[in-house]
Amino acid sequence: MPSFDTVCDANMVDVKHAVENTTKEIVTRFDFKGTPASIELKDKEITVIGDAEFQLNQIEDILRNKLTKRNVDVRFLDMGDVQKMGGDKVKRLIKVRSGIETEVSKKIQRLLKDSKLKVQGAIQEEKVRVTGVKRDDLQAAMALIKKEMTDIPLTFDNFRD
């Protein structure tokens, strides 16, 4: 039976390279000289450190540009709150989304049921597997999911015929 998986996963290699390129630009830029401006990636968390919130915004802008050049959707970034550190420093934690949350996967499942397409959605851990009899129905389901779910960057993989 034909099927495909709906997933929400960023390419972590490209994210890592974007963070490294951002670090290189921070080191070479004149307006960051002598400041504690830095960016660091650990697991799926990016830590941005700077003098003020304005500087954090500048670093995040550089990061967004680097991610866009590497074709990584910036909707994968989940911005945290600005936190005060010792002295004048501030930091922000940015989480890189991976996997579809339970409520979003239930929303996708409900969307497929309400669409009257002859497909079924099954929640499997952090992805939604969509199965159907006809390939055309699956392609229509993909188009429907892309059209309706614009707030998170969904991709489709593991298409079986």
Domain limits of the chain? 3-8+100-160, 12-96
- Cα–Cα distance, 160 to 149 (Å, whole number): 23
pLDDT at 116: 87
Q: Burial code of 101-128, b = ≥16 C-beta within 10 A, e = fewer? A: eeebbeebbebbeeeebebebeeeeebb
CATH 3.60.70.12 for domain 12-96, yes or no, is no
Can you list the positions of beta strands (E) in 8-126?
Answer: 38-42, 45-50, 77-84, 90-96, 119-124
- Cβ of 64: how many Cβ atoms within 10 Å? 15
pLDDT in tens, 5-43: 999 988 999 999 999 999 999 999 998 988 899 999 998
- Cα–Cα distance, 100 to 114 (Å, whole number): 20
pLDDT in tens, 98-117: 888 889 999 999 999 998 88
Looking at every residue in the chain, the average pLDDT score rounds to: 91
12-96 and 3-8+100-160 share a CATH fold: yes
pTM (two decimals): 0.84
Q: Does residue 150 register a pLDDT over 90?
A: no
pLDDT at 158: 86
pLDDT at 72: 92
- Cα–Cα distance, 58 to 50 (Å, whole number): 10
Q: Does residue 1 register a pLDDT over 90?
A: no
Topology of the domain comprising 3-8+100-160: Alpha-Beta Plaits (3.30.70)
